[in-house]
């Protein structure tokens, strides 16, 4: 090793997906070059004193929607950077007439201009057979995950089982992973139309049209289609105990079936529909206040059956949501009232404050669900998601003592509201580094839009599982 390195993080507690221990980290250029006791590390051009802080691997949000109707690829990463993230793997959708490779080039250009954070893309496949042939080329361009919807019939997103099979077969052949929004869209559509016909259109009438067994049924189908085609299955935003039980069953057979949940399913209930109306309309819906789902999901995450926690950030303006006060399902033109809620800025604070502080999960659990597992499943490991020699020098440094309250006034995103208004949290992202450079420094960003780099991704590596405590 040269006698002098660029940077040392001195005196913190390093948190990995396995454990936490006192050590300093040396960084040269964009990479980690040494980890060890202070006394044996070389001198550095710059030192950052992280005594009393927790040093996590850079946090990854692997479920985020950015684009013209949401935060864009400039504003979204800007907000996410303030909230402690360093890498975003966001959803892109091919525009009308565009092939998948064309969509990748367009998205990559847009995000390269605007993003302060490193980024990659999952592609959403609408049910258009002509898109399927673009999968191999998209994989060569570094896209290893593709999302299909089993619901959203009125929005033109719902894929037939036949289409899902054909896509999964192509993804399996390319060594990728299939992400599925698991809800039975035919039944949802039936229940929604029935509710509309009977005049049950208040916000609180929405969750009962997407009951938990509809997720369970679709998870079961996703598992079976994955077994049939050989594709790994990644269940996005798991929301129910019933769905979780089916996933556990599949995992016990050794099948590559992995699940993600989100803070909203761990923490919020359908009672929010009364308070927030259409702002709390998300898919799958928030589950019944008296139900078993939140506790089941916490247990599933603690026991390693749920691999990742992601935001499903899909902010909407209040104006876009407003028609839902009158009819939660459709506006006067018959268009679906938008689903989604802003959540990237609350992801890290809630996973730390609610998971580690309040529920006593070890910090290594957070390193698992917010860093190493998303990196493994989405083909970024070991460049991202881990503190080890040779990895990108990406860190999330948390001040465990900071106590504060979530306020929309402090948020940077376009939505202008948060379902967590007034929520007290302990622990705060204090600093982040991305490829050796400080991005967030106590509330301020030190890097500009365009600092972020495109991350071509490979195939999945199985996530860390087993009980986290
Ligand atoms: Zn989503």
Q: Which residue has the tokens 């399927």?
A: 132
Residue 1 has pLDDT above 80, yes or no: no
Predicted pLDDT of residue 3: 75
Q: Are 432 and 86 contacting, i.e. CB atoms less than 8 angstroms apart?
A: yes
* Alpha carbon of 124 to ligand 1 centroid (Å): 10
Can you say how many angstroms the Cα of residue 267 is from the centroid of all Cα atoms in its chain? 16
Overall average pLDDT of the 179-199 stretch: 98
Average pLDDT, the chain: 97
Predicted pLDDT of residue 68: 87
**pLDDT tens readout for residues 274-305:** 999 999 999 999 999 999 999 999 999 999 99
Residue 9 has pLDDT above 90, yes or no: yes
Overall average pLDDT of the 122-127 stretch: 98
Overall average pLDDT of the 153-177 stretch: 97
Nearest CA-CA partner of 124 in 76, 159, 91: 91
* Alpha carbon of 10 to ligand 1 centroid (Å): 38
| 169 pLDDT tier (thresholds 50, 70, 90) | very high
Report the distance separating Cα 403 and Cα 121, nearest Å. Answer: 34
Predicted pLDDT of residue 2: 52
- Which DSSP category does 93 fall into? -
Overall average pLDDT of the 179-183 stretch: 98
* Alpha carbon of 258 to ligand 1 centroid (Å): 16
Please provide residue 434's backbone torsions phi and psi, each rounded to the nearest 5 degrees: -135, 120
Report the distance separating Cα 148 and Cα 181, nearest Å. Answer: 6
Burial of 415 (0-12, 13-18, 19+ CB in 10 A): buried
* Alpha carbon of 100 to ligand 1 centroid (Å): 19
* Alpha carbon of 225 to ligand 1 centroid (Å): 21
Residue 394 has pLDDT above 60, yes or no: yes
* Alpha carbon of 412 to ligand 1 centroid (Å): 20
* Alpha carbon of 146 to ligand 1 centroid (Å): 12
| 124 pLDDT tier (thresholds 50, 70, 90) | very high
Residue 59 has pLDDT above 80, yes or no: yes
* Alpha carbon of 139 to ligand 1 centroid (Å): 21
* Alpha carbon of 237 to ligand 1 centroid (Å): 7
* Alpha carbon of 310 to ligand 1 centroid (Å): 9
* Alpha carbon of 312 to ligand 1 centroid (Å): 5
Nearest CA-CA partner of 165 in 117, 125, 123, 205: 125
Can you say how many angstroms the Cα of residue 74 is from the centroid of all Cα atoms in its chain? 18
**pLDDT tens readout for residues 78-99:** 999 999 999 999 999 999 999 9
* Alpha carbon of 398 to ligand 1 centroid (Å): 27
* H-only helix segments in 97-147: 100-114, 135-140
**pLDDT tens readout for residues 302-327:** 999 999 999 999 999 999 999 999 99
- DSSP β-ladder status, 4-15 and 20-28: antiparallel
What pTM, to 2 d.p., does this model score? 0.98
Predicted pLDDT of residue 7: 98
Predicted pLDDT of residue 351: 98
* Alpha carbon of 128 to ligand 1 centroid (Å): 20
Report the distance separating Cα 339 and Cα 328, nearest Å. Answer: 10
Tokens, residue 329: 């399902």
Report the distance separating Cα 218 and Cα 151, nearest Å. Answer: 9
* Alpha carbon of 329 to ligand 1 centroid (Å): 18
Residue 144 has pLDDT above 60, yes or no: yes
Nearest CA-CA partner of 344 in 54, 59, 124, 125: 59
* Alpha carbon of 64 to ligand 1 centroid (Å): 6
Helix H or strand E encompassing 419: none
Overall average pLDDT of the 160-182 stretch: 98
* Alpha carbon of 453 to ligand 1 centroid (Å): 23
* Alpha carbon of 236 to ligand 1 centroid (Å): 7
* Alpha carbon of 9 to ligand 1 centroid (Å): 35
3-class secondary structure for 312-375?
CECCCCHHHHHHHHCCCCECCCCCECCCCCCCHHHHHHHHHHHHHHHCCCCHHHHHHHHHHHHH
Overall average pLDDT of the 438-457 stretch: 98
Q: How far is CA 398 from CA 50, 84, 197, 313, 431, in A?
A: 9, 9, 51, 22, 7
* Alpha carbon of 200 to ligand 1 centroid (Å): 26
**pLDDT tens readout for residues 217-232:** 999 999 999 999 999 9
* Alpha carbon of 66 to ligand 1 centroid (Å): 10
* Alpha carbon of 304 to ligand 1 centroid (Å): 22
């Amino acid at each position: 090793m040269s006698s002098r390195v660029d940077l040392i993080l001195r005196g913190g507690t390093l948190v990995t997906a396995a454990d936490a221990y006192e050590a300093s980290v040396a960084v040269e250029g964009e990479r980690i070059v040494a980890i060890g006791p202070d006394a044996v590390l070389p001198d550095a051009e710059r030192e950052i004193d992280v005594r009393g802080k927790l040093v996590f691997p850079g946090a990854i949000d692997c479920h985020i929607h950015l684009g013209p109707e949401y935060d864009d690829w400039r504003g979204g990463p800007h907000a996410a950077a303030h909230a402690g993230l360093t890498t975003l793997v966001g959803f892109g959708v091919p525009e009308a007439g565009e092939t998948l490779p064309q969509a990748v080039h367009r998205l990559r250009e847009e995000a390269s201009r605007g993003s302060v954070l490193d980024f990659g893309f999952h592609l959403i496949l609408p049910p258009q057979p002509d898109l399927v042939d673009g999968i191999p080329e998209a994989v060569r361009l570094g896209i290893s995950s593709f999302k299909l919807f089993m619901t959203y019939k009125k929005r033109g997103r719902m894929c037939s089982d036949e289409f899902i099979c054909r896509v999964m077969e192509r993804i399996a052949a390319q060594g990728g992973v299939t992400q599925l929004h698991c809800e039975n869209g035919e039944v949802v559509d039936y229940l929604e139309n029935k509710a509309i016909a009977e005049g049950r259109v208040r916000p609180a009438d929405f969750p009962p049209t997407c009951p938990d067994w509809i997720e369970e049924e679709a998870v079961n189908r996703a598992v079976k289609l994955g077994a049939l085609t050989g594709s790994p299955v990644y269940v996005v935003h798991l929301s129910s105990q019933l769905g979780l039980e089916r996933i556990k069953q599949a995992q016990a057979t050794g099948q590559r079936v992995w699940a993600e949940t989100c803070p909203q399913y761990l923490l919020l209930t359908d009672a929010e529909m009364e308070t927030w109306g259409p702002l709390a309309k998300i898919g799958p819906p928030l589950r019944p206040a008296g139900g078993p789902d939140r506790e089941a999901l916490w247990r599933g995450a603690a026991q390693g059956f749920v691999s990742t926690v992601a935001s499903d950030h899909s902010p909407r303006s209040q104006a876009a949501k407003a028609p839902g006060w009158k009819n939660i399902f459709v506006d006067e033109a018959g268009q679906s009232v938008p689903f989604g809620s802003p959540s990237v800025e609350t992801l890290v604070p809630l996973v730390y404050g609610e998971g580690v502080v309040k529920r006593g999960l070890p910090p290594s659990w957070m390193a698992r669900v917010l860093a190493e597992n998303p990196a493994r499943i989405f083909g970024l490991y070991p460049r991202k998601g881990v503190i080890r020699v040779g990895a990108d020098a990406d860190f999330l440094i948390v001040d465990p003592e900071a106590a504060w309250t979530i306020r929309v006034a402090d948020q940077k995103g376009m939505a202008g509201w948060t379902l967590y208004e007034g929520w007290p949290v302990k622990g705060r992202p204090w600093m982040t580094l991305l490829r050796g450079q400080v991005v967030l420094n106590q509330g301020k960003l030190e890097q500009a839009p365009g600092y972020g780099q495109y991350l071509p991704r490979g195939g999945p590596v199985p996530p860390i599982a087993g009980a986290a405590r």
